[in-house]
Structure 1
């Protein structure tokens, strides 16, 4: 992604936990958002997958939108930035994360290859946050309730 466009796109696609991303709300129909581009032209809605992946031009590897079999936005994953109240969660240290979001409802460990990732779940905010070596690397967000 062009370094000049990232701040603009990051602001445009800021996360409101439990509500949505930018103008997109969890539960919206994908057809309401023409800026979304299907990542896989032949999505599978099997029991395992269950979701089609969409992206936004210019943010293909940064923001992934998951759409259910009914064509509704279910959740999103952020990989390079995740703006919440003007702060980027990606790259944030765990200490600052706890100051910013408070105590998580649950913490789990997951082994990926040789790395151990800690997952911080904030159920009341609809967030699951992955950290490696004490730093946020992925934020997954969905609706609450």
Structure 2
């Protein structure tokens, strides 16, 4: 039986994760929370690097945590938030960047899901499916 994601709880988890971001350069903290069919929630925060190209986005950190601990499917929902320190969700709506969309597609396709994506922002945010964020995506399904 599959658990049901709760939008407000998942956004709250993303906001908590954002508070842990290492963002000394941009001062823009991002948090992500991934919800799985078994009820598990895995969070991540952005991790910046002085060599900017080596920085990691929150969604990538959370996905790496899942995959490196043996998880490979059942992704049902993702919440993403961002903003100035102490103010996640208080600014413009934050959506996953292109790289993160691709990383999330990898995780979703492993379990054959098209997760809801909840993007947090002061205007009430945005809700859509991952397939809407990255139509015609290339992923594991294309290799088999």
> If the length of structure 2 is used for normalisation, what is the TM-score?
0.28
- Higher strand residue share: 1
- Higher helix residue share: 2
